Structure 1
């Protein structure tokens, strides 16, 4: 199966997305959230943010978090993942995070995230890489991957990529820490092709980086690799191979 670009959900969805770029909506969210008095609070492994109508609308339009049902029509609550929380706090510098009635600075929140999940720096680096390119990033648990990404809001377009995050501990390693077994990769490709998604493998490269500070993320890079199934129809006898002059 070959993907033929974005699969819009309606006749005018592409036009709507083009008229309202995600980057512009996120810029509005930055301003609104920076001026807000609300602070995100930890709840389990995620964070809870109380919002007013304008902020509720912008979070929904940028597809950050998950809106929870409340009985208050004026104030709503959003559940944010650790990656979403730190991205809004550290990269966009617009979200306050409070623990034990104290607003946290970058390094304190970073250490808190790492204490909850030692692999948080790896997954956050991949998340940041995708969000910085204005992809909408959501958890990919239902598809057996780390993330699924959308060209614009999920209400307008289907997700295009199923993302698997991998990393290499040492320079020169041919294989990452995941997908060492061919059958694992094969299963991921078959599952994602079944729901019209391409597999995007993100390799986080940060040899000897301790991740003790969020600033050390700058010493890492992310390599992208799109993985698809080989189709016999792409290499038929009557098709001349590239570079074959005979």
Structure 2
């Protein structure tokens, strides 16, 4: 199932403005302004100027928060988004409510107990983002993420992404029997998405930062339904 572009000229617009270029511009802007994300429960709040607001929207990081101040815009980042900006791109620093700066290890230790399966989700999110996919929450479709080839205003999401552990016997209980596969595939098919399963292999490492990020591996599996009509041999005439 290929990309479904939204309207005439959408593909040309995407090719003329690649996501890698947008993210690079955002990274430089955040570094120059020494941006800090405020840790608030299970989200991170990021203050942005006008330029950064445009770039965050174009790169699809976070969700803008409506406020009365026209000169300042706040974005609500998920933990996966915040950690990617902090650890992978190194363009955002994380501070707690008391304005105390948290390093990568402290941020990891804070999030891991609060967010179930966070290490695997973080690895999967970073894996897709590094391949220049736009990654958004997939809760609406019963999956972990949905992946877009470019900005959602230009193209529909192409993949529904499930993140599973490659070593823990699928402790989250998904895709354990064939009926799970059939239900998930039917749902994905009804919304014109392909099911992409990312298996996170710890390779003998635990969730201790940063060794887990350095040694984890990701296996991609594209799951499709078997169609007997398409798979049947042509009958001789």
Report TM bin, short chain. Answer: over 0.9
Number of positions where the alignment pairs a residue of Structure 1 with one of Structure 2 = 233
Match of 1:160 in 2: 158
- CA gap of 1:191–1:108, structure 2 versus 1, over 3 A, is same
Match of 1:132 in 2: 130
Match of 1:113 in 2: 111
* Superposed CA RMSD: 1.5
Question: Could you list the runs of 4 or more consecutive aligned residues of structure 1 that deviate by over 4 angstroms after TM superposition?
Answer: none
Conserved in 2, the CA contact under 8 Å of 1:168 and 1:207?
Answer: no
Give the deviation of 1:169 after TM superposition: 2.7
Segment of structure 1 superposing worse, 62-71 or 161-170 = 161-170
Partner SS state of residue 176, structure 2: coil
* TM-score after normalising by structure 1: 0.90
Match of 1:148 in 2: 146
Does residue 186 (structure 1) correspond to residue 188 (structure 2)? The answer is no
Encode CA deviations 1:209-231: one digit per residue, 9 max, x unaligned.
11211242121110000011111
Match of 2:75 in 1: 78
Measure the CA separation in 2 of the matches of 1:187 and 1:239. 31
Does residue 235 (structure 1) correspond to residue 231 (structure 2)? The answer is yes
Measure the CA separation in 1 of the matches of 2:222 and 2:167. 21
Conserved in 1, the CA contact under 8 Å of 2:124 and 2:198?
Answer: yes
Encode CA deviations 1:176-225: one digit per residue, 9 max, x unaligned.
33321222221111111000000000000113311211242121110000
Give the deviation of 1:104 after TM superposition: 1.2
Does residue 224 (structure 1) correspond to residue 220 (structure 2)? The answer is yes
Does residue 48 (structure 1) correspond to residue 42 (structure 2)? The answer is no
Measure the CA separation in 1 of the matches of 2:100 and 2:119. 23
Match of 1:243 in 2: none
Unaligned runs of 5+ residues in structure 1 are 241-246
Encode CA deviations 1:65-87: one digit per residue, 9 max, x unaligned.
00111111111110000000000
Encode CA deviations 1:19-77: one digit per residue, 9 max, x unaligned.
11100110000100111244111223111111110000000000000011111111111
Partner SS state of residue 47, structure 1: strand
Give the deviation of 1:118 after TM superposition: 4.6
Give the deviation of 1:168 after TM superposition: 2.6
- CA gap of 1:140–1:118, structure 2 versus 1, over 3 A, is closer
The counterpart of 2:191, out of the listed 190, 195, 210, is 195
